[in-house]
Structure 1
Amino acid sequence: MTAQAPYPVGTPGAPWGAAERAAWLSRQTRQRSYQAEVLDAIERLRPRFQLVEYGRLHYGPDSYPLLAIRSRDWNDELPVALVTGGVHGYETSGVHGALRFVDQHAAGYAGRVNLLVAPCISPWAYERIHRWNANAIDPNRSFRDDSPAEESAALMRLVAPVRDRVLVHIDLHETTDTDESEFRPALAARDGKPHEPGEIPDGFYVVDDSEHPQPGFQQAVIAAVAMVTHIAPADRNGEIIGSPVVAPGVIEYPLRQLGLCAGITDARYKTTTEVYPDSPRATAEQCNAAQAVAVCAAIDYALAHP
Structure 2
Amino acid sequence: MIEVRELTKRYGSEVAVDRISFTVRSGEVLGFLGPNGAGKTTTMKVITCYLPPTEGTVLVDGLDVRHDSLAIRQKIGYLPENTPLYPDMVTYDYLEFMAAMRGLDGAARRRRLAEVIEVCGLGDVLTKRIDALSKGYRQRVGLAQAMVHDPPILILDEPTSGLDPNQIVEIRSLIKTLGREKTVILSTHILPEVQASCDRVLIIHRGRIVADGTPDELQSAHGGQRILFGVQAPEPEVRSALERVDGVRVEEARTESDGTLLLRLSADGQKDLRPELFRLVVERGWTLTELHRERVDLEEVFRQLTMN
- The alignment's TM-score, normalised by the length of structure 1, stands at 0.31
More strand by percentage = 2
- The alignment's TM-score, normalised by the length of structure 2, stands at 0.31
